[in-house]
Structure 1
Amino acid sequence: MLTELDEWRNEAYESSRIYKERAKKFHDLSIRTKEFKPGHEVLLYDSKLRLFSGKLQSRWRGPYVVHKSNWNVTYELLASNGSTFTVNGHRLKPYFKAELDHDVEVVNFIDP
């Protein structure tokens, strides 16, 4: 009877291992690598804890320009004032400029 329990436990362990391998393989397929080259514009995630920051305020700051990419996942960014600083690449995302339509009509409201 104890040997049957050991066999069931071993089978459960093996099926759990197979399931975890398949789940990891599926998860790894959905991961996209982010690679930035010097000159790319990026947004930086601001992870500082603020007690009373606005709920709808975006935590993405920037745009910054990639000045240099290091051999690992760190990047050196160039701020608008000319200073450079190093950040982890996981805190960056590409910045896409919004194309503004120049045929926009401006309406001014006047109080009666």
Structure 2
Amino acid sequence: MQLHELEEFRLHAYENAKLYKKKTKRWHDKHIVSLTFEPGQLVLLFNLRLKLFPRKLQSKWSGLFEVVRMTQHGAMELKNKDKSSTFLVNGQRVKHYLRNDVDRELEALTLNDE
């Protein structure tokens, strides 16, 4: 009798794990944002280098690269703005470069102790 109950408990646990995986996959797929890139666009590349003493305020995104072409499987060919050499990277390591065309003027404010 106990072996039968143990088998039933195992099947119930298997079904619960299956439902959990299905629900987690649905949530994950719902929150994926697909980015589309066109040749000539400017992008930033995620820096994967391992650093022993990372700085807190150091940016994880490096360079300014131009998209040369996209492959079918999500890889991108990028060209460095300074050099003419090209290289392939995974498309998930890239994000759009948003230009800030606003002219920034500096203002000096004087603070008075009153």
TM-score by length of 1: 0.82
Counterpart of 1:96 in structure 2 is 98
**Structure 1 stretches (4+) deviating beyond 4 angstroms?**
none
What is the SS of the residue equivalent to 1:44?
Answer: strand
Q: CA deviation at 1:52?
A: 4.1
Q: Give distance in 2, aligned partners of 1:12 and 1:52.
A: 44
SS at 2:78 equivalent: strand
RMSD value over aligned CA atoms? 2.1
* 1:26-65 equivalence runs, <5 A: 26-65=27-66
The corresponding residue for 1:25 is: 26
2:34 maps to a residue whose letter is T
Percent identical residues? 39
Question: For the structure 1 residues 94 and 16, does the alpha-carbon distance in structure 2 shift closer, same or farther, using more than 3 Å as the test?
Answer: same
- Cα distance between partner residues in 2 of 1:22 and 1:53: 36
Contiguous gaps of at least 5 residues in structure 1: none
1:34 CA drift (Å): 2.2
Q: Give the distance between the partners of 2:41 and 2:88, measured in 1 at CA.
A: 15
SS in 2 for 1:61: strand
Change (3 A) 1:56 1:14: same
Q: What corresponds to 2:87 in structure 1?
A: 85
**Residues matched between the structures, number:** 108
Could you give the per-residue CA deviations for residues 39-94 of structure 1, whole angstroms, max 9, x where no partner exists?
A: 11110011112334533111211221101111211111111222211111111111
Q: Using the alignment, how far apart are the partners of 1:59 and 1:40 within structure 2?
A: 20
Give 1:85's aligned amino acid.
F
Give 1:48's aligned amino acid: R
Structure 2 stretches lacking a partner, 5+ long = 110-114
* Segment drifting more, 85-94 vs 46-55: 46-55
